[in-house]
Structure 1
Amino acid sequence: MTILVSIALVGLSFFASYILCEATKRTGVVDAPDGQRKLQDRPIPRLGGVGILAAVALVMLVAGAVHTLSPLWLGGDWLPGRVPDVWFALGLTFLFGAVGAADDVFDLNPVVKLALLLALCVAAPLLGIAATELASPFGTVTLPAILIAGSATWLLVFINASNFMDGSNGLSLGSLAFMLAGLGLSLMLSGRGGFPMGLACIIATIGGFLIHNLRGELYAGDAGAFGVGAIFATFGLISGLPVWTIATLALPLLIDVLLTLVSRTHRGQPLFTAHRDHAYQSLIKAGWSHIEVAMVWWGLSAACGIAAAVGAVGGGALPFILFWVFAALFTSGWLFIHRQAGQEVPGQADR
């Protein structure tokens, strides 16, 4: 693929996403304020994720045609992973997005939605979308049953985390763009090929959406959070990179979600009801703007991308060490934000 063709495909990705996201505003599917968690001043269209995924599908078709091998050819240096795994990962991505879109349009029963997500997360590793090993300084796990269960758990946790963090303009989808960039950078610097142009195109589709989103005109909805979250989660598994490298990339979303769930459990609060207890929500309540909060998480995601690449290049125990160092740093930051906001945190004495 020549540089000019690559640039053209990235440009097409951006503009196709921008135009298709603009079209979703006219569907009439909106996110209405409820006075609790949804505090916008007016109904906002919420099918931006459909526009992103439609643009991804379009660019995949165009890229296949450019390669001339088949109208639907994918593989090689286009996306990370073996061709069959790439196909399965993309198919699952659109299925996750379809579940999200159905929820955006029809407000699925939470139990039904969770059951559908769980079915996809279990099916994915059975189709080959799974880690091949879990290495650490204490030994390497290669037992298939553990890797399949772990991969299914990873998919379920991360895809839901990307949705839980999608409550501030630009935060979740923008962070996912940086995570995908970190994934590509780690592959390139660790000698596993060049930066996959398919990832660059997907990042560009997120950029086309963010033009609308950062102006407060369009939300990604569950279709975007589930679909784009699944892109990162599935391609992370089949990339061949160490599991700890992928986990490091995901830390900015995972830490806020997991510690918030722990905190709510500690306080005896229900885990799956709408709330405003995330660290990013505390910053917004303290007067930070959406773009300021998003930029903090973008910066954290960029830092994790650099750390993940360093770990992937260094190999050995370095990815494991960097993951836990950054996890400790982010945990300290989360605790600081919540203490500043006056919220009780796990381990804090009841008063």
Structure 2
Amino acid sequence: MIYIILILLSFILTYYIKKIAIRKSLVDIPNDRSSHTTPTPHGGGIAIAVSWFIGISYLYYINDINSSLFFALLTGVVISAVSYIDDLYELSAKVRLLTQASVALVGLYFLGGLQTIDLMSFSIEDQVVTNIFAFLTVIWFINLYNFLDGIDGYAGSEAVFLGIAGFLLFGGSHFLVLVFAVLGFLVWNWHKAKIFMGDVGSTLLGYNVAIFTIYYANQEQSNLWMWITMFGLFWFDATLTLVRRYKNGEKLGQAHRKHGYQRLVQSGWAHDKVVIFSILVNFSLFCLVYFISNILIAFFISLLVLYAVMRYIDNKKSFN
């Protein structure tokens, strides 16, 4: 019953947020980074956030979520609130980074940090090293998810995929809460999108993925690579694009449209075709972690798969 309530809440909230955004001219104006051509309301991520936090709070009330995981996830309220202010007033990069760093530290505090990094033949257990890695992971996941929220349905479908995959692999009602909180919004965000989630949604989703990664890595060392593999389409695209732009001598803070999914759109693919393609890639990544018992082997195979995907995209639209 709770899941029906959450999807309806997310759906209805998104509808009213869209109406308010249009009335108050809170719209996303196309720029150099945009893959859309018409002004579109933003802020739909508020519906995701509200539904999500209500959902996990209910799970905590009925003792259906680990308390450390709950409080780590609840810390995401801060990143959502500040990101929404940023959507409205464009906060400075220093304020955004300080907020992300603070949220990362608090979230890691509730999780007890990252205990171990498993590297096949040996493990890193030095808490300074593991927690620096965990801290940077949270910051990077928050930002890369924001970078890859650029076409209709893309960021939302990734969250739904990770929620379903997490539930199938680990169980946990929190994954279903995530799925249904996003699905209600996704109805309005599917091509052609009637509203965008904005930073308030994308940064929260990136934070959640990072928290899931660290929480489950503490339960079983190999889970770290399982989550990194399943999230591969996003982090591989974001990281490779960043490296390529750095090698080209570009200003990394400047808006661009060079991510793989953006170049597919430029090549002539409709937004929904790109999203369906991403779902197929994600399904292949899930199969790797599900059927291959050695997760590091699965991870290395996923790198080959993702490299092949990027080469395919390069052939469709070159990286200039």
TM-score (norm 2): 0.91
Instruction: Give the AA of the match of 1:89.
Output: A
Tell me, yes or no, if the aligned pair for 1:13 and 1:205 is still in contact at 8 Å.
yes
CA-CA distance at 1:15 after TM superposition: 0.7
CA-CA distance at 1:131 after TM superposition: 2.7
Verify: 1:286 aligned to 2:250, yes or no: no
Instruction: Give the AA of the match of 1:231.
Output: N
Verify: 1:238 aligned to 2:219, yes or no: no
Alignment deviations for residues 57-112 of structure 1 (CA, whole Å, 9 cap, x no partner): 23334x35xxxxxxx5264xx34xx32x1232222222221221111121111222
* Corresponding residue of 1:114: 97
* Corresponding residue of 1:69: none
CA-CA distance at 1:119 after TM superposition: 2.5
* Corresponding residue of 1:140: 123
Secondary structure of the 1:137 match is coil
* Corresponding residue of 2:2: 9
Aligned 1:1-351 pairs, distance under 5 A: 8-25=1-18, 26-27=20-21, 28=24, 30-61=26-57, 63-64=58-59, 73=61, 75=63, 78-79=64-65, 82-83=66-67, 85-128=68-111, 130-187=113-170, 195-214=171-190, 215-239=192-216, 240-241=219-220, 242-311=223-292, 314=293, 318-344=294-320
Q: Which moved more, 1:256-265 or 1:129-138?
A: 129-138
Tell me, yes or no, if the aligned pair for 1:32 and 1:38 is still in contact at 8 Å.
no
Tell me, yes or no, if the aligned pair for 2:36 and 2:151 is still in contact at 8 Å.
no
Distance 1:129 1:263, change over 3 A: farther
CA-CA distance at 1:39 after TM superposition: 5.0
What is the rounded CA distance, in whole Å, between the counterparts of 1:211 and 1:57 in structure 2? 20
Tell me, yes or no, if the aligned pair for 1:74 and 1:86 is still in contact at 8 Å.
no
Q: What percent of counterpart residues are identical?
A: 21
Instruction: Give the AA of the match of 2:151.
Output: S
What is the rounded CA distance, in whole Å, between the counterparts of 2:118 and 2:231 in structure 1? 18
Instruction: Give the AA of the match of 1:203.
Output: V
RMSD over aligned Cα, in angstroms? Answer: 1.9
Tell me, yes or no, if the aligned pair for 1:180 and 1:232 is still in contact at 8 Å.
no
Consecutive unaligned residues of structure 2, counting only runs of 5 or more, are none
CA-CA distance at 1:29 after TM superposition: 5.8
CA-CA distance at 1:35 after TM superposition: 4.5
Distance 1:134 1:74, change over 3 A: farther
What is the rounded CA distance, in whole Å, between the counterparts of 1:299 and 1:101 in structure 2? 31
What is the rounded CA distance, in whole Å, between the counterparts of 2:116 and 2:62 in structure 1? 25
CA-CA distance at 1:325 after TM superposition: 1.1
CA-CA distance at 1:286 after TM superposition: 0.8
Determine which structure has more spread, i.e. the larger CA radius of gyration. Answer: 1
Instruction: Give the AA of the match of 1:157.
Output: W
What is the rounded CA distance, in whole Å, between the counterparts of 2:112 and 2:185 in structure 1? 27
Instruction: Give the AA of the match of 1:327.
Output: L
Instruction: Give the AA of the match of 2:61.
Output: W
What is the rounded CA distance, in whole Å, between the counterparts of 2:305 and 2:12 in structure 1? 40
Tell me, yes or no, if the aligned pair for 1:170 and 1:213 is still in contact at 8 Å.
yes
What is the count of residue pairs matched by the alignment?
312
Distance 1:74 1:235, change over 3 A: farther
CA-CA distance at 1:180 after TM superposition: 2.0
What is the rounded CA distance, in whole Å, between the counterparts of 1:181 and 1:39 in structure 2? 27
CA-CA distance at 1:178 after TM superposition: 0.5
Tell me, yes or no, if the aligned pair for 1:88 and 1:129 is still in contact at 8 Å.
no
Secondary structure of the 1:127 match is helix
Tell me, yes or no, if the aligned pair for 1:129 and 1:237 is still in contact at 8 Å.
no
TM-score (norm 1): 0.83
Distance 1:74 1:228, change over 3 A: farther
